[in-house]
Structure 1
Amino acid sequence: MLEHGRLGTRQLATLTIMMVVGDMMMIFPSVITSYAKQDAWMCALIGIPLGMGLMAMFLKLGNAYPNQNLISISRSILGYWPGTLVSIFYLYFFIIGAATHTREVGDFMTTQIFQTTPIRVVILLFTIAIVWAVLHGIETLGRTSEILLPLVIVFIVVLVVSLLPQVDVENLKPYKENSYVSLAQGILVSIIYPIGEAVPILMLLPYTINNPHRNKDIILAAGIGSLILSSLVTISMLVLGAFLTQHNIYASFTLSQKINIGDFFQRIEAFMASAWLISTYFKASIYLYIFVLGTAELFNMKQYRRLILPTGLLIFGLSNVIAPGITYIIITIVPYWVDWDTTIGIIFPGMLLTIHWIKSHSLRKQT
């Protein structure tokens, strides 16, 4: 196997939460509200069990081919050349995803915190950080996630609890004023953005210790990640309202700026930014790791480590040219990203699992 490191079940679960929350922690309230408007909080809640079901589908596919990752699974099910084409599509998504997450960090830091710092400096520093993580291997990345995940959860809990005095239930009214199409779109977004982008788990399963409770823990981790995002959507709508949530791409950051308890506990937006940076860092690192590992698998290379530095340079370049600015990302990229996520997170895994079932049923009939 290309990767000799091994993940424990708890480490894979923490990485799953990081992938689900990831960059969505800051932008998810705005994205889902743009589709579902006043009913975004309901769509987010409905998406929790449905997202756990999607994760169960990923695990079903991965468990059908133990000790194989997504690249070899695609080839085993579809054949060499069709499986290779699907694998290339996935690898392209992973490299673009890593570059996009890196660019999101650059845009956020230069528009909200370091406003006079060139964006290329922030992108370069973040790229160096994720390359450093991947160079140390997936086992080190998993153990680090165990240490930092509690910080992320604590920051989010503090945010939600501190905003409770500013909650206004009237902001959630009127209920169900949108069409069923808008509700369906909101539910799809609540599933496909957080859980669909966790499809890299199919590349990590072969390097994870297969405990009896592994599947249950991973599905629960997906549910926890979706619950965190649902909590952010709900508290954002309760405090800001649907209109401000929809038109503020960094709604969670704005919420943290509104905290003021007794003119003493306030200005904690740096902590919220830290939580978002941590989760986005792990998501981008996993995408980079999956890309180099999958590329090495695709071309039958003996090791993947020699690809890490060139890929880091590629991510740095792509992050700078992927969009001219944050406005372009919001208007042009975000509306179509859900279609891409649906393809790689639902259509392709569903197709692979369906073909696997058909082939297995045919073999059973022949015997």
Structure 2
Amino acid sequence: MEKISKNQLFCLIMMGQIGSTNLWALGIEAKRDAWIVDIISTIAGMGLVWLYTSIYSKYPDKNIVGITQSILGKTLGWPLGFIYFMLYAFNATRTTSEFADLINVTFLQDTPNLVIQIIFYLAIIYVLFLGIETLGRIAEIIFSVVIFLIIAIYIMIIASKQIDFKELLPVFQDGYKPILKAFYPIGINFPFGLVYVFFQFWKYNGSVKTVKKTTYWALALTGVNLTVSLIIMVTSMGINYTSNATIPFLEVIKLINIGDIITNLDAIGVILVFMGGFYLTILFYYSAVIIFAELFHIKDYRWVLVPLAIFIMWYSRVYEPNYPFHVKYLLPQFWQQFVPLSNVVPIMLLIIFYLKKYCNKDLNIKNKEGSREGI
């Protein structure tokens, strides 16, 4: 079986998190208190990490399909595994449409959306055809570039003297209700709930201790990055502009102007949008491929890559015709998929595991007592 190192797993998790969070002002529904939402979500997100890794630690050599069938049996586990396949395929469809639209609207207005998607998936299929180890090695290289660019943007926007921390005041202006509303379900599940996708990747490391430690560190740093990014957005653009901007992080980049020399850095935005979308999509897409291959006993998952990519590109144009549609139906999607499949089902799986363990232990004790009485 292929293996990925601790550093590769860390970079994969971070790239998935950056791809899903860094471009947007998450928690902005709480206005000036959005940074509080991000901090609370990070702390609560550690609870989700504990939940997911606790389930994984019981079956370190299995992915979500093997875990559901081991806990629930094939009768219930197989359909639940198929539901997770549909979930990952749907999320791959959503991210494909979302990032292709963003690239099309902001940078490549004259390029057909379908062309962008085809180029996107040619790169994805090529990487996945080479295997998980290649994906991990590329993630190590790309992560270094992406994190350098993000930090450079933070430094340059501060150097441009665009920051005004008064935009964060007053704290708790509208009370705690907007904070709680922004916190659940979106704040905690986006991005921290997305870690459930790594049920398909953790087994390639093999060390439960390493997986837990690496995932906790990656999510903690994601929380720091998320909070800093939000503060930079609000303090440089103001709460109203940040709330209404399509891609707030790109608008921050446009504000950079150091001595009229360092300016017009939109190219950095192109790189971050593409890399973030690439890794977020590839994680969902690869998970769907792996699950489908295991459910239908396809020995080589590579046979699934091209047909599923074609289906996703077609479905992305049917389900989500444009970016405003995506934004409008984002909240209902969280209640439809993240709450039941990312929050409720994992809790139930862990409870059922311990119930079965307790019942089996009690049964073994009774069998031993019966054997002694027979003697």
TM-score interval for Structure 1 and Structure 2 normalised by the shorter chain: over 0.9
Q: CA deviation at 1:203?
A: 1.1
Alpha-carbon distance in 1 for matches of 2:273, 2:231? 18
- SS of the equivalent of 1:303 reads coil
C-alpha contact 1:22 1:282 (8 A) present in aligned 2: yes
Match of 1:358 among 341, 355, 359: 355
Residue of structure 2 equivalent to 1:209: 206
Q: How many residues are matched?
A: 360
Q: CA deviation at 1:237?
A: 1.0
Q: CA deviation at 1:230?
A: 1.9
Match of 2:333 among 337, 340, 352: 337
Residue of structure 2 equivalent to 1:87: 81
TM-score by length of 2: 0.92
Q: CA deviation at 1:344?
A: 2.3
User: Unaligned regions of 5+ residues in structure 1, if any?
Assistant: none
Larger radius of gyration: 2
C-alpha contact 1:102 1:127 (8 A) present in aligned 2: no
Pairwise CA RMSD: 1.6
C-alpha contact 1:194 1:226 (8 A) present in aligned 2: no
Alpha-carbon distance in 2 for matches of 1:105, 1:112? 10
Q: Counterparts in 2 of 1:252-291, with a 5 A limit?
A: 252-291=249-288
Q: Percent identity?
A: 25
Residue of structure 1 equivalent to 2:45: 51
Alpha-carbon distance in 1 for matches of 2:326, 2:31? 20
Alpha-carbon distance in 1 for matches of 2:125, 2:105? 24
Match of 1:104 among 93, 98, 105: 98
| Shift in CA distance, 36/295, structure 1 to aligned 2, threshold 3 Å | same
1:153 aligns with 2:147: yes
C-alpha contact 2:20 2:191 (8 A) present in aligned 1: no
1:231 aligns with 2:225: no
Alpha-carbon distance in 1 for matches of 2:71, 2:163? 51
| Shift in CA distance, 211/325, structure 1 to aligned 2, threshold 3 Å | closer
C-alpha contact 1:156 1:272 (8 A) present in aligned 2: no
1:68 aligns with 2:62: yes
Alpha-carbon distance in 2 for matches of 1:56, 1:276? 30
Alpha-carbon distance in 1 for matches of 2:209, 2:57? 12
| Shift in CA distance, 348/7, structure 1 to aligned 2, threshold 3 Å | same
Q: CA deviation at 1:364?
A: 2.8
Supply the AA of the counterpart residue of 1:32: G
Q: CA deviation at 1:7?
A: 1.0
Residue of structure 2 equivalent to 1:170: 166
C-alpha contact 2:15 2:276 (8 A) present in aligned 1: yes
Residue of structure 1 equivalent to 2:130: 136
Residue of structure 2 equivalent to 1:328: 325
Alpha-carbon distance in 1 for matches of 2:277, 2:216? 20
Q: Counterparts in 2 of 1:293-304, with a 5 A limit?
A: 293-304=290-301
Match of 1:198 among 195, 207, 232: 195
- SS of the equivalent of 1:22 reads helix
Q: CA deviation at 1:111?
A: 0.9
Supply the AA of the counterpart residue of 2:139: S
- SS of the equivalent of 2:212 reads helix
Q: CA deviation at 1:212?
A: 4.1
Please list the CA deviations of residues 117-168 of structure 1 after superposition, one character each: whole Å capped at 9, or x if unmatched: 1111111111211122211111100110001101111111111112222111
1:183 aligns with 2:182: no
TM-score by length of 1: 0.93
Q: CA deviation at 1:354?
A: 1.6
Q: CA deviation at 1:55?
A: 1.3
C-alpha contact 2:42 2:192 (8 A) present in aligned 1: no
C-alpha contact 1:155 1:272 (8 A) present in aligned 2: no
- SS of the equivalent of 2:109 reads coil
User: Unaligned regions of 5+ residues in structure 2, if any?
Assistant: 366-375
Q: CA deviation at 1:240?
A: 1.4
- SS of the equivalent of 2:27 reads helix
User: Which stretches of structure 1, 4 residues or more, deviate above 6 A after TM superposition?
Assistant: none
C-alpha contact 2:32 2:170 (8 A) present in aligned 1: yes
- SS of the equivalent of 2:201 reads helix
- SS of the equivalent of 1:81 reads helix
Q: CA deviation at 1:211?
A: 6.7
Supply the AA of the counterpart residue of 2:51: M
Residue of structure 1 equivalent to 2:371: none
Supply the AA of the counterpart residue of 1:327: P
Q: CA deviation at 1:39?
A: 1.1
- SS of the equivalent of 2:342 reads helix
